[in-house]
Structure 1
């Protein structure tokens, strides 16, 4: 596609501090806007909910929940404050105290949002789980965090959790959000009965900027998923970036399509719009192109935050799907999850009359760091420029050597951010060494390879490791391989991400069978079904190939980059660490 420049759309968009390092911007000023004193008490839920519930905006709609069955339910800021107070007080009655871990596993229904905000009110640490997870990802995350409470549906509990209870000694309380009748499941509680019995008196517990608030799991290349810990002070980033990166304004109708089990769905699907007093649309139904078009049109959405996979699916649906539909209220469209190709950015102009603004951040950053804002010209394919308060660099980094900042434009290196923004993660749960490895002095090393052009725009090149990014979800190879190896026929498994036009990447597994088991189509389907049961459809492999052996380093690590290079017909690069047996096989 021929490079184009899309001129900025909005002359009145927030431009203050649009260059990182602008002296006019300070995080202290953001705190003062929210009424927070430096180093004073700060609570995400108090600022997001109670601040509005006790103001002239109390009756304004905070969330509009659209059911898969066509129903709609509006919740005002006043009602949300009452419900979250009841939930917080219900948790207190169960002995939940500040710092305890609360997990939420359900679809995009009112109870999920009430549980997240109510738990934050009392200082509990909240971790929403992706609703499509299978039993193993659920078990590993609750076990790592010593989760005390799980809020879920009866169906999810029966299919995914009940059999795991003996393996989760920390899990004291399971609260079911649907009415299934008393005693249907042992050792569970009826959430609505608890809420009915709990007082709606203020549940708020004092919390400080550094008190843990959110726990977002992100997969790595080896070992267990990493639990990124975020604090209540992160709310300053949520507030500032919602205005600058998403151009959100108090009178807007906002739709963030991300599931709260993904960090975007928590930071920008729950917290950020509430901070600004915005009305958010929450759609319970799965993706459907025509439903989404009707929703954008009929709900008069002003700002829409979605993912590249959804955009590509809408593009695939064809222009005829948009015939007769108009979107005069839609002012700003943004995307996150993986790099957005230039064609998709420009397609937004054709379909909606608005370009799509790509932005970049990670679970670890807690909020948007680099973005194509409404106040900037767009270079399609670019991540954009650093937001106010964010200093980003392209660096060269080798283990055991000093970090070198690359000043020459368009030179590929690792993206590094200067520490100090409020939503920077404060640790990986129970993994202090992995956390320390992310930093070099005052720089957070993101693991993403980028280049910066002469105008200060950043361009994504790729990951520096082999984490798989599929439909916006980070998937660790080790986690998938471990589940495949649970099957009695499997001796070893190696997993890679394979490019896909819609999902970005899909998972392909290479499986070595135990002797004397022979490969068969029946066994391949059996392994795929096993993986789907254990991991869920979003994480399970889409392809499985049987191979006689996997390439390893001399230390025993699977060389996934070699698997990927061979699959895609790419140069295999340095094989000096390849174990001797594999090297000899390659010579034959």
Structure 2
């Protein structure tokens, strides 16, 4: 069934056109319109990015648009722009948007609040003055250890207003993970919530901060927002300060700093899917320029939308599509704290119904969670407001894609499955939802101004339908500018593999229609007896079985075959591990792909090791089956106990 490329999933894919009702409201309304705009953007990138820049507010703007080439480049060198001014001030000062809700907040425990653009503007200026009162200035780094709160957005926008470089750390990372990021970035201040909620449990964030800061001398102040007043929160005199008390004493007048478009704006660490995490540096103005374009054209965001991106603020997706991209477009956005299926499985649907959310952005993990809870749960809620469902973070298997569109999207919603990385600061592959046809499992087409290709290691394009290395051949504003404190690592990690291109580290296929299918990391394509097999294809086959909720496949070295596939699966309720079920799953892969793809072994597991953004960390699964333990970085884990359990249950078999 599969050819040498192992791409039967792609060969059998079909096009689904966006509904005319949606197309009529899209910024681009036909495939021909996309192609014409795309070709112009590639032929004249300076002209394209100049058009985007025309829609933003500049402090000063020079004529040069692009200077330099990979890996050293600038966009609008010498021009000045302030991210906060574009995301907050211009909406607060406009009579039609000043009293519009900028952010709704809902907590897992039912707490609700909202803030208008005018109120947001006042709060951001106050906190900017708080930062200034402690001597913080352009280029200084602060670590932010908070969950999805309106106050978190106030903090981050205040940093962007002053040119203070922020580093968000997921509120739930261990003391060691937090400490590593604080020390690596030489942060001068930590801003945290005292606690957060997750599945009904109280996570004491301040206690984690205290442990992380033991012996750390660079941090002079810790500002604590009292999210849960009933939680005991020890405060260290002379270092720890109360957020509300500081805000009460601060003036609501702080002019935005004049910042070069290429000044560092934010620092975010990779999730640790491949070794020691890297501190990725993004330019503030470049990040604004790029994310504004991604958000406008890939989400069709308009002033009337109610938009919910479920990503945690510790994940760059929130910064791309909510904090900067979303607010720059002046939409009303929903922030949610906690688990999406707690305290009951329909929690996500309940929130969609309450706020009449029409554009929902989440991860395939969350969409598969909805599928796991079943159609009956979804049927209890009015989801008719949903027009666009967007996905990023993991391959979106066609079975879940179709279920989500039918059950959650009412058979009419547009689904936009995208691809991007922390380093790209956005999603270079996506649908233009009113213009390009959907293909279940595809990551869409190259975004405007982005020249992508699939190549061999010499940088030569491979034929359509053939797997190769996904590369980007031109610069774009939101591309990472450095690895913090380690420029050599920046060069070697991204620019040393394929001449003249940014190396994504992902394997991909471009089909005959010009759509791209990202198969996973390069080492997630397994060579079995000369056959290149995508782990995505095997995982998709396994998930089709009624017993399987989630699947991950990795390669194990084999003296004869080179490598053999090893599958990890989690089961639906009501199914139990057995030799018969393992045989049935192996048989399904053989039927769907071929005998050469039969998993050597199937491990039934309670949960997968995942990053906070929901990505399965297959590197850890490989380490467990090869070494019996996990050797590399574990700071990006959502739940370290999952790995400990896997090592205990599987690792000892390897060692023996």
Instruction: For residue 431 of structure 1, report the CA deviation from its aligned partner.
Output: 1.7
Q: Is the 8 A contact 1:334 1:357 kept in 2?
A: yes
**Is residue 110 of structure 1 aligned with residue 150 of structure 2?**
yes
Instruction: For residue 181 of structure 1, report the CA deviation from its aligned partner.
Output: 9.1
SS at match of 1:66: strand
Q: Is the 8 A contact 2:177 2:635 kept in 1?
A: no
In 1, the alpha carbon distance for the partners of 2:438 and 2:123 equals 42
**Which ranges in structure 2 are unaligned for 5 or more consecutive residues?**
1-8, 42-46, 63-75, 196-203, 526-534, 537-565, 572-606, 609-614
Taking the TM superposition and a 5 Å limit, the aligned residue runs for 1:141-156 are: 141-155=181-195, 156=204
In 2, the alpha carbon distance for the partners of 1:498 and 1:94 equals 50
Please point out which of 647, 650, 653 is paired with 1:544: 647
**Is residue 33 of structure 1 aligned with residue 144 of structure 2?**
no
In 2, the alpha carbon distance for the partners of 1:161 and 1:318 equals 39
**Is residue 192 of structure 1 aligned with residue 244 of structure 2?**
yes
Q: Which residue of 2 aligns with 1:87?
A: 127
Q: Is the 8 A contact 1:133 1:538 kept in 2?
A: no
Q: Which residue of 1 aligns with 2:481?
A: 426
Please point out which of 168, 173, 181 is paired with 2:221: 173
Q: Which residue of 1 aligns with 2:418?
A: 359
Instruction: For residue 64 of structure 1, report the CA deviation from its aligned partner.
Output: 0.5
Q: Is the 8 A contact 1:394 1:412 kept in 2?
A: yes
Instruction: For residue 87 of structure 1, report the CA deviation from its aligned partner.
Output: 0.6
Instruction: For residue 458 of structure 1, report the CA deviation from its aligned partner.
Output: 0.4
Instruction: For residue 548 of structure 1, report the CA deviation from its aligned partner.
Output: 9.3
Q: Which residue of 2 aligns with 1:247?
A: 300
Q: Which residue of 1 aligns with 2:430?
A: 371
Instruction: For residue 105 of structure 1, report the CA deviation from its aligned partner.
Output: 0.9
In 1, the alpha carbon distance for the partners of 2:164 and 2:518 equals 36
Please point out which of 23, 46, 50 is paired with 1:11: 23
Instruction: For residue 219 of structure 1, report the CA deviation from its aligned partner.
Output: 4.2
The TM-score normalised by the length of structure 1 is: 0.80
**Which ranges in structure 1 are unaligned for 5 or more consecutive residues?**
470-495, 514-518, 550-565, 568-581
Please point out which of 355, 358, 363 is paired with 1:302: 358
SS at match of 2:103: strand
CA deviation map 1:5-59 (0-9, x unaligned):
2112332212286237421670111001113334321111110011111112111
Q: Is the 8 A contact 2:194 2:233 kept in 1?
A: no
Instruction: For residue 534 of structure 1, report the CA deviation from its aligned partner.
Output: 11
SS at match of 1:228: strand
CA deviation map 1:425-464 (0-9, x unaligned):
0011112122112114541110000010111100112202
Q: Is the 8 A contact 2:18 2:438 kept in 1?
A: yes
CA deviation map 1:450-507 (0-9, x unaligned):
01011110011220247999xxxxxxxxxxxxxxxxxxxxxxxxxx995658866365
Instruction: For residue 193 of structure 1, report the CA deviation from its aligned partner.
Output: 1.1
Instruction: For residue 327 of structure 1, report the CA deviation from its aligned partner.
Output: 2.3
In 2, the alpha carbon distance for the partners of 1:498 and 1:266 equals 32
SS at match of 2:214: helix
SS at match of 2:299: coil
Taking the TM superposition and a 5 Å limit, the aligned residue runs for 1:121-160 are: 121-155=161-195, 156-160=204-208
Taking the TM superposition and a 5 Å limit, the aligned residue runs for 1:237-276 are: 237-276=290-329
Instruction: For residue 3 of structure 1, report the CA deviation from its aligned partner.
Output: 3.2
Over 3 Å counting, the alpha-carbon distance change for 1:121 and 1:447 in structure 2 is same
In 1, the alpha carbon distance for the partners of 2:272 and 2:329 equals 34
Over 3 Å counting, the alpha-carbon distance change for 1:540 and 1:466 in structure 2 is farther
Please point out which of 520, 529, 547 is paired with 1:462: 520
CA deviation map 1:391-430 (0-9, x unaligned):
1001111xxxx42232x11111111112321100001111
CA deviation map 1:114-160 (0-9, x unaligned):
11111111001111111121111111111100011111123444431
Q: Which residue of 1 aligns with 2:401?
A: 345
The TM-score normalised by the length of structure 2 is: 0.72
CA deviation map 1:236-293 (0-9, x unaligned):
1111111211121121000000001011022113221111110001112322131111
CA deviation map 1:41-86 (0-9, x unaligned):
1111110011111112111100011122323211011111111111
**Is residue 443 of structure 1 aligned with residue 501 of structure 2?**
yes
Q: Is the 8 A contact 1:143 1:168 kept in 2?
A: yes
Between 1:438-447 and 1:193-202, the stretch displaced more is 438-447
CA deviation map 1:325-354 (0-9, x unaligned):
332321111000111011122112211222
CA deviation map 1:566-588 (0-9, x unaligned):
98xxxxxxxxxxxxxx9xx9xxx
SS at match of 1:393: strand
Instruction: For residue 183 of structure 1, report the CA deviation from its aligned partner.
Output: 7.0
In 1, the alpha carbon distance for the partners of 2:55 and 2:651 equals 62
Instruction: For residue 223 of structure 1, report the CA deviation from its aligned partner.
Output: 5.2
Q: Which residue of 2 aligns with 1:209?
A: 261
Q: Which residue of 1 aligns with 2:117?
A: 77
Over 3 Å counting, the alpha-carbon distance change for 1:93 and 1:461 in structure 2 is same
Over 3 Å counting, the alpha-carbon distance change for 1:361 and 1:159 in structure 2 is same
Please point out which of 86, 93, 102 is paired with 1:54: 93
In 2, the alpha carbon distance for the partners of 1:462 and 1:355 equals 24
Please point out which of 147, 159, 162 is paired with 1:119: 159
Over 3 Å counting, the alpha-carbon distance change for 1:163 and 1:359 in structure 2 is same
Q: Which residue of 1 aligns with 2:579?
A: none
Over 3 Å counting, the alpha-carbon distance change for 1:361 and 1:160 in structure 2 is same
SS at match of 1:167: coil
In 2, the alpha carbon distance for the partners of 1:201 and 1:337 equals 39
Over 3 Å counting, the alpha-carbon distance change for 1:536 and 1:328 in structure 2 is closer
Q: Is the 8 A contact 1:370 1:383 kept in 2?
A: yes
Q: Which residue of 2 aligns with 1:453?
A: 511
In 2, the alpha carbon distance for the partners of 1:88 and 1:126 equals 13
In 2, the alpha carbon distance for the partners of 1:426 and 1:533 equals 23
In 1, the alpha carbon distance for the partners of 2:522 and 2:108 equals 40
Q: Is the 8 A contact 2:455 2:470 kept in 1?
A: yes
